[in-house]
Structure 1
Amino acid sequence: MTWWQLSPIVLCAAVIVFLPGYALGRCWGLRGLVAAGAAAPVSVGVTAGMAVLCPVLGLRWSVWPVLAASVLAALGGLAVRRFAPAAFGSRPAAPLRARWTLVVHAGAVLIPAVLLTRGLVRLIGGPDNISQAWDNLFHLNAIRSVLDTGSGSSLTLGELGASDRVHPYPAAWHDLVSLVVQVTGTSIPAAVTAVTIVVAALVWPVSCIFLTTRVTGTRPVPVLLAGGLAAVFGAFPYQLLYFGPLYPFFLAVALLPAVLALVAMAAGVGARHGTPRWLLVLTLVPAAAGLALAHPSEFLALAVFSVPVLVVAIIRYRRHATGARRWIPVALLAGYLAAGAVVWAEVRPSADGSHWQPVQTLSQAIGEVLTVGTMKLGPTWVVLALTVVAAGLALRRQVSWWVLGGYLIAAALYVATSAGKPGRVRSFLAGIWYDDPHRLAAQLPVFAVVLCTIAAAWSCTRLRAAMTLRFPDRARLSAPLVAVLAFVVAAGIGVAGQRSSVNSAIGTGGNVFQRSDMLSPDERALLARLDRTVPIGDTVIGNPWSGASFSYALADRRALILQYGTKVPAKTQFVLDHLPELRTDPAVCAAVRAQRSWFVLDFGGPQYLGMNAHYRAIDTAAVNSGLTVVDHQGAATLYLVTGCRSGR
């Protein structure tokens, strides 16, 4: 598949990610950037929410339940607007002369969309390439499981059949990819690539622009600058795609700015542009649900980053309130903080999973924060320059306190995790992120975009004022010309920002997508033929550490072990241990027959991460007289179990 052939799949993914939420927002009365900014988180909330409800309702997972829920909710919004128009207040339509700003908004998204898509193409290498890193075996097989079982519920995705006990797992990302596969009929790797492009090159910039304009307003200059600056960070989106890959967390971080923007608007500290507060609170419900079902840790991050928002809102409220009412929000905030501390301490992964250690000194971590060149990706100089300007503006109280507070919290979390001493304090702060500095690094750009946009817009304003003073007759610029110049500046900043942490991240990540640590070209070719050699419904015995378990995701033939690092069920372990005795022990053939494990896939050669995991069923395949070779390529061989007396 070529990148041009992937284009319609990317378009389909964009429709799935944006259209339900945008249509709902418009039907309920959201407009402009508010409707666009809330679209993706609301869509994810509706999609992942319906995935949870489908098993309860006895429905198979597909695009139809999502469509039905969206239509019903949209009709509800239209009914409310029809019968209770007063609830929406008086909001005159934008005059025709002002609608050229739609072009500005499109331009603001175009800059990062082009730059980020270009970076992703370089990172991934080809639409069918997969990240050959730890988490991807689970993610791709989980998508196949959603398609096979007809259930995409976050309550049941769990351990993917690796044990008898099912654990919840945030499935929003897997639900989106599965819908793209269903609608387009494309392969899982191509659908993953398409969703990755949509989330990184569209959802993330739109979210950043939405959050920024809650502070700066919707003037063309900051809108365009926010778009350009959304594309200059290696920490996000690139690093999460090759470290892990952390696809669910990647989706959640892309949604976080938009959901935080809704919180700021609902609290009264972000520009609402006439949107009723009750409508913002209502929109927050599916948006926050989408964030939680994308990744719960980012829902908790939202709770933390909302604290400065609430503090500023309370301070503003107390300026006008009188009597006992002045203390009500203070009491509510105290309750919020107390409840949040309890949840923060209890709702987190096990200590066994939080094993990441500090990676640098305190001074190095602070330097990386200032440049957002985190995790040794190298400095982004344009970010450093604008951060210095933003610091000066903060000292002059020209930066919103809630934005500055969020930035300082994100910075403190990263510094404490990447450079802090291991112990209770560090684990309390970062345990919900597995004590992993990569995840904390990805959150810094959320606020860095806003601060750098404020600094860049201020610099442009000062430059224009200086030009007006120096050339009073020549410096008068029309609004369209200002927008064009801002577009050029934003594009220049975006391009300049590619020459630092972005290029470093792409260079590092490209090795993960374009190497053969898990699957060699021969192994990938053999997997591509499994649909012709292995009947539907049969199970393949393979070593997951060799990449053989990708047979499920890439060839739609279930692997006996679907992921590594988990407890193998006893019935599966019996086959793995005793297949060499299939001619002498009738129980072996009975176990093979029960699990329909009639094929053995032996990928000779090195194992992932240099592992030395061995299973007798695979290690003895070449000398097992009860197995017959049915296909091979290079060192990769597929065997059929032919030694059971009664046959299949």
Structure 2
Amino acid sequence: MPTPDTFWTYSSAISIYLVVLAVPGGLIGWSAGLRGWALAGLAPLLTYTATGLAGPWLALVGLPYNVGTAAAFTLLLAGAAYGVRAFGLRRGWIPGEALADRPPLPWTRRAHLAVAACVVLATVLSVIVVLSASGGPNAVFQRWDTVFHANGIRYIADTGDGSLTGMGTINWYPDGSFYPNAYHLVGALVYNLSGATIPATLNAITVPVAGIFALSMVTMIRQFGGRAVFAGSVAIVAGAATTGAYESVSSGLLPFALGIVLTPLAAVALQRYLVRPAVDTGMVLALSAVGLLCAHSSALFGAMLFAFPMVVQRWIRREGRVGQDILRMLPVMAASGVLAALQVLGAVGFTSSAYPYTPWASNIEVTEALNQLLKFRQILNQPQLWLAGLLVIGTLSFLTLGKMRWIAASALILSFMFVLVACYGGVSWVITLSRPWWNDRYRLMALAAIPLCLLAGHGLAEIQRWLSKAVSHWSWVRDNPRVPARLGLASAVLVLIAMGVVTQGFYTQANATAVAFLYHNGPESKDREQPISAYELEAMAVLQKLGVGPDERVLNDRVDGSAWVYAITGIKPTAGHYDTGVPPKDAEYLADHFREFDTDPEVRAAVKRLNIHRVFLGHGSIKPYMHRAPGLRDLDGLDFLRREYANPNAVIYTIIK
């Protein structure tokens, strides 16, 4: 269901998000010595580093998080990076030319432009997929965790509280609950700068997700000296593969999806440091690790699994020594630990808290798990057979990857992790091993998709190489001196066009069907009731006009979508998330006994403590098996309530006693 944003409002929200992605991180990266594709690719990650650190540290010293303080913190971080690098240069700790940072295979200007065009194309595909799935850029997300993220962005923007527990107070009051909040801190900036509604802001952050994935992949390939055709091919695959960026988005795992698309950058920062260990490359690695941790708790774990084979290959090829590399990592780890101390302590405290950990315990057949990996599909019935074919070609020809052969080992490790969780998710040691990913096979599939997309892109690049080589033997090609120079670009364009044709527009329609799960807008949801419909939004607008005070909470049901009332109106509900884990005692008691207001003094006491004067009930349920709480059923006709407003899907009451 859409919210009332104009075309210019949500267009500006998308533009502002892209600027926020590029500028803060770009300034920090440039100050730290990054240039070229490394600067362009790492800029989004460093932006999330800056905001992810700014919010909690500002809260610790009692300062609000807003556009001004976030900018000041970014300048402070950039200044520190510049100063550290300048000091290292003066002391001779950093080579003046930093020759080791230069990728071994030069690209022509034409190659750079062609690869950039592929990244732009992947971004365009991403925008088309998300907007096609949603039915418009101001549609309201319908999946489970999205309401938590929506409320979190609104809370930070309204209160300036960027702490790691503050936004959790909308549901887990009074103390809140730990959650790494870089995603929400960036969202709060976009919300405040654009003037868009929260749904439009969330969509603005979501639409370029596959484009960010493509940029991260290209940056990694460039850093390791890969061919431009390989980089461009991987960018296109990143924009086409369902299990890469899109499937996590479709499940509402928005910060997790962000962590996935940024994960390849860990290999970039790590390679730069290991090849040229110095204070500037170490600083970039530390900031990158912190950024992944701030984006999502599991992102750093996933990045370590993804990049570990690269380190092993380095040791096998005697490009580095095990002990020496480990010793060099210690100061980087220490610096990361200091910067992210609040996130680390928060994560440790959350792990030992009363919040229940419930494993998914998936038990599908091994053959089915392998089938899903190969065909880049998990939630869709339609396999991506052309990508599967490219994956086979890329895997069989992995030896031609050169310094990037480790990608095959990464694919093997992460695919094994997916199969383990998907097929044996109920085994105790598997549950423990996969806890950073909540024992969720969908998350592990997204992680495995990173090297699988790289291999599929390599397969596409190999086809182009074979085609170019075959054509180069033709006599008319050899006899025309201008043709060989243009043959590479022409064959790359031909292969790209062919892929677009056989995949019916790079699987845009299939990916839109997958992302439509996020909005309950696909064919699988045609008979399903949306928790947030136009009627609920209409009722929320009426509630906003009733003069609910900033210190009041509105009593609502946990499962009917009314938890969105805070994100839409800024009015606090008693239930700010669908999650039933450790709810506030007063909220839980009222959900069970509110109908007994006249006869139960504890109900009246809870209403007074929470300062409740209104009741807002929606329609439907976030899950078909979840039903309205017993204390909130059949409220019409009760003498302590007056109905203020009603429509087919929502009703508002006022407590009159």
Q: Give the TM-score of the pair, scaled to structure 2.
A: 0.85
Aligned to 2:611: 596
- Which residue in 2 is equivalent to 1:524? 537
1:110 partnered with 2:125? no
**Deviation of residue 567 (structure 1)?**
3.1
Residue matched to 2:572: 558
Aligned equivalents of 1:347 and 1:404: distance in 2? 35
Q: Secondary structure at the match of 1:622?
A: coil
Matches within 5 A, 1:445-524: 445-471=449-475, 472-474=478-480, 476-477=482-483, 482-483=488-489, 485-487=491-493, 489-490=495-496, 492-493=498-499, 496-497=502-503, 503-513=509-519, 514=521, 516-524=529-537
Whether the aligned pair in 1 keeps the contact of 2:238 and 2:244 (CA below 8 Å) is no
**Counterpart for residue 233 of structure 2:** 225
The reply to whether residue 121 of structure 1 matches residue 131 of structure 2 is yes
Identity %: 23
Give deviations 1:243-296, integer Å, cap 9, x for gaps. 2x111111100110112222233233xxxxxx8754332111121111111111
Q: Which runs of structure 2 are paired with 1:17-166 in the superposition (5 Å)? A: 17-79=21-83, 84=89, 87-90=94-97, 99-158=109-168, 160-163=170-173, 166=176
Mapped to 1, the partners of 2:39 and 2:329 lie a distance apart of: 32
1:167-316 correspondence to structure 2 within 5 Å: 167-198=177-208, 200-217=209-226, 219-243=227-251, 245-268=252-275, 278-316=279-317
Write the deviation string for residues 621-645 of structure 1: whole angstroms up to 9, x where unpaired.
Answer: 31122222222222421112222xx
For the residues of structure 1 that align with 2:81 and 2:654, how far apart are their CA atoms? 58
CA contact (8 A) 2:305 2:414 kept: no
Taking a change above 3 Å as real, the CA distance of residues 249 and 37 of structure 1, as seen in their structure-2 partners, is same
Question: What SS does structure 1 have at the residue aligned with 2:45?
Answer: helix
Tell me how far 1:571 sits from its aligned partner. 3.5
SS of residue in 2 equivalent to 1:609: coil
Deviates more, 1:429-438 or 1:503-512: 503-512
| Cα distance in structure 2, aligned partners of 1:53 and 1:174 | 15
Residue 444 of structure 2 is aligned to residue 437 of structure 1: no
Alignment-mate amino acid for residue 198 of structure 2: I
Instruction: Report whether the alignment pairs 1:633 with 2:647.
Output: yes
- Give the counterpart letter for 2:642 in structure 1: T
Q: Check if 1:546 corresponds to 2:560.
A: yes
The answer on whether the counterparts of 1:156 and 1:167 sit within 8 Å (CA) in structure 2 is yes
SS of the equivalent of 2:180 reads: coil
Distance 2:565 2:411 in 1: 44
Q: Which moved more, 1:511-520 or 1:552-561?
A: 511-520
Deviations 1:389-426 (CA, angstroms, capped at 9, x unpaired): 22322367857332111111111111112223631343
Structure 1: how far apart are the matches of 2:605 and 2:418?
A: 54
* Greater alpha carbon shift after TM alignment, 158-167 vs 175-184: 158-167
Q: How much does 1:600 deviate? A: 0.9
The code of the aligned residue for 2:177 comes to H
CA contact (8 A) 1:154 1:172 kept: no
Structure 1 CA distance for aligned equivalents of residues 195 and 60 of structure 2 = 27
Moved more, 50-59 or 632-641: 632-641
One-letter amino acid of the structure 2 residue matched with residue 115 of structure 1: L
Letter in 2 for 1:238: Y
Q: Aligned partners of 2:570 and 2:355: how far apart in 1?
A: 35
Residue 162 of structure 1 deviates from its aligned partner by: 2.3
Q: In 1, are the aligned partners of 2:302 and 2:447 still within 8 Å (CA)?
A: no
SS class of match (1:34): helix
**Distance (whole Å) between structure 1 residues aligned to residue 350 and residue 271 of structure 2:** 25
Distance 1:403 1:562 in 2: 42
1:383-402 aligned at under 5 Å gives the runs: 383-394=387-398, 400-402=404-406
| Residue pair 1:267, 1:313 contacting (<8 A) in 2 also | no
* Counterpart contact for 1:224–1:486, Cα < 8 Å: no
Q: Is the 8 A contact 1:163 1:569 kept in 2?
A: yes
What does the per-residue CA deviation read over 1:605-624, in whole Å, with 9 as the maximum and x for residues that have no partner? 556423123242x3253112
CA contact (8 A) 1:233 1:502 kept: no
CA distance in 1, matches of 2:241, 2:401: 26
> Aligned with 2:33: secondary structure?
coil
Partner of 1:323: none
1: distance between equivalents of 2:425 and 2:653?
51
1:71 offset after TM fit, Å?
A: 1.6
Q: Deviations over 1:479-520 (max 9, x none)?
A: 567446524533543564467876444324425413643123
Mapped to 2, the partners of 1:289 and 1:532 lie a distance apart of 43
1:168 positional shift: 1.5
Residues 490 and 560 from structure 1, CA distance in 2 versus in 1: closer, same or farther, beyond 3 angstroms?
same
TM-aligned CA deviation for residue 305 of structure 1: 2.2
- The CA distance in 2 between the partners of 1:520 and 1:331, in whole Å, is 54
Kept in 1, the 8 Å contact 2:560–2:618? The answer is yes
Cα pair 2:310 2:406 within 8 Å, conserved:
yes
Query: CA 1:354–1:580 in 2, change beyond 3 Å: closer, same or farther?
Result: closer
CA contact 1:373–1:501 (8 Å) conserved in 2: no
The alpha-carbon distance between structure 1 residues 392 and 277, as it changes in their structure 2 partners (threshold 3 A), is: farther
- For residues 308-457 of structure 1, the aligned pairs below 5 Å read 308-317=309-318, 328-329=323-324, 353-375=357-379, 377-394=381-398, 400-420=404-424, 422-457=426-461
Counterpart CA distance in 1 for 2:48 and 2:369 is: 34
CA RMSD after TM alignment: 3.5
Q: Which moved more, 1:58-67 or 1:503-512?
A: 503-512
SS of corresponding position for 2:616: strand
Partners of 1:481 and 1:91 lie apart in 2 by 34
Separation of aligned partners in 2, 1:591 and 1:455? 63
Q: Is 1:611 the equivalent of 2:641? A: no
Structure 1 counterpart SS, 2:367: helix
User: Structure 1 pair 205/500, CA: closer, same or farther in 2 (3 Å)?
Assistant: closer
Residues 1:568 and 2:575 are matched in the alignment:
no
Stretch moving more, 101-110 or 38-47: 101-110
Cα offset, 1:12, TM superposition? 0.2
Q: CA–CA distance in 1 between the matches of 2:603 and 2:314?
A: 68
Amino acid at match of 1:413: M
Corresponding position of 1:322: none
After superposition, give the CA deviation of every residue in 1:349-400 in whole Å (9 maximum; x if it has no partner): 9995342233532122223222323355432222222222223223678573
Distance 2:193 2:118 in 1: 30
Q: Within 1, Cα distance between the matches of 2:325 and 2:194?
A: 52
Structure 1: which amino acid aligns with 2:191? V
Aligned to 1:640, the other structure's residue is in SS state: strand
The answer to whether the 8 A contact 1:260-1:306 is kept is: yes
Unaligned 5+ runs, structure 1? 269-274, 320-325, 337-342, 644-648
Which amino acid is the alignment partner of residue 408 of structure 1? L
Please state whether the residue corresponding to 2:576 is helix, strand or coil: coil
Q: Distance in 2 between matches of 1:333 and 1:401?
A: 24
Structure 2 matches for 1:568-587, cutoff 5 A?
568-573=583-588, 575-576=590-591, 579-580=594-595
Tell me: CA distance 1:302–1:605, structure 2 relative to 1, closer, same or farther (3 Å).
closer
Cα offset, 1:160, TM superposition: 4.1
- 1:375 and 1:452 mapped to 2: Cα distance? 20
Over 3 Å counting, the alpha-carbon distance change for 1:545 and 1:298 in structure 2 is: same
